[in-house]
Amino acid sequence: MSIRQIATLTGHGDRVWGVHWNHTGKHLASCSGDKSVRIWGLEGEKWVCKTILEEGHQRAIRRVAWSPCGNRLATASFDATVCIWDKKSGEFECIATLEGHENEVKAAAWSISGSYLATCSRDKSVWVWETYDEDDFECAGVVTSHTQDVKEVVWHPNEDIFASGSYDDTVRIFEEDDGEWVTGAVLEGHDSTVWSISWDKSGDRLATVSDDKTLKIWKRYKSGNPQNIVTGSSKYSWKCICTLSGFHERTIFSVDWCHQTGLIATACADDAIRIFKEDEKSSSDEPTFNLLCSYNHSHAQDVNCVSWNPAQPGILASASDDCEVKIWKIDDV
């Protein structure tokens, strides 16, 4: 198996912080320190910039997220706001600016139902926003259980629960209980900042990456599980079932677990992209993941984000401090 570059997308005037595919896999959004979002698509066999959104934020845009329906984008910015963009009349327009965070917003993510949006910030908080009608977003809860900057927030693929990663070295799972958003579990095991999180297709496992240069796999055990993992008074318990170390030379900034192929991609400060695959013969409670391929100089500077195409197996996008977005093909998937 090998990884090869199939496109380089240029145009951003500053580092590219994030990339995210829409649900059809036909459009890719990227966000940058230049305060803009670019939406890319194919014209014939060439990737081109279809749209530029650049009037919503006053500072760098740290993350961009497509809604499940593909008609909306949420952008999280260092200006402490989140903008909601809607493609109502064929063109994206900013329909709402969500305010409340006291410092830089590091990430935003939609729930699978599209009813909720979670945002996280340097102010140590995670906000949950609910949309009651087409253009109205209201805060449904603020969670302050992290003790440091919250770097990442990601919703479960099938349930209205989400995970967050923080500078406090922990991952936390949040769920709704009697109308309140509460911490359902705290995952401890990383020795430094947790930068990125990704759920597997089932939602029973998580991949997390950290400044400690490790990739960890966590598994959810429900009450009464046959493995006799103690859950106490909780509905479930999380256990780290695999730690991959020695593969990354510097901080791992991003991880994405492909729901089509099961491959895990990582983006690293050593300028490399790496692809891992689970050994099908290994135990589900003690799995083995092997490095399938890597591209050691995928970008000229830090790779900040990787994102699998949800509709085309083996297609991966990456974003870098070198101001470029690249698209890759993993052969023999």
Instruction: Decide: 53 and 46 in contact? Cβ < 8 Å.
Output: no
Closest alpha carbon to 156 in 214, 190, 193, 116: 116
Strand-pair category, 150-155 with 162-166: antiparallel
Each residue's pLDDT, cut to its tens digit, for the chain (333 residues) gives 789 999 999 999 999 999 999 999 999 999 999 999 999 999 999 999 999 999 899 999 999 999 999 999 999 999 999 999 999 778 899 999 999 999 999 999 999 999 999 999 999 999 999 987 667 899 999 999 999 999 999 999 999 999 999 999 999 999 998 889 999 999 999 999 999 999 999 999 999 999 999 999 999 998 777 787 877 667 788 999 999 999 999 999 999 999 999 999 999 999 999 999 999 999 989 999 999 999 999 999 999 999 999 999 999 999 999 999 999 999 877
How many residues in total does the chain contain?
A: 333
Residue 125: predicted pLDDT: 97
Give the C-alpha distances (Å, rounded to integers) separating 88 from 70, 78, 131, 196. Answer: 12, 26, 16, 32
Q: Tell me which residue of 145, 118, 2, 6 sits closest to 63, measured CA to CA.
A: 118
> In whole angstroms, what is the distance from residue 219 CA to residue 198 CA?
12
Gap between the Cα atoms of 103 and 105, Å rounded? 6
Burial readout 289-326 (b: 16 or more C-beta within 10 A, e: otherwise) = beebbbbeebbeebbbbbbbbbeebbbbbbbbbbbbbb
Domain map (residue ranges) of the chain: 2-331
Two structure tokens written together for 63: 């993350």
- Given 2.40.50.140, 2.130.10.10, 3.30.465.10, 1.10.8.10, which CATH number is that of 2-331? 2.130.10.10
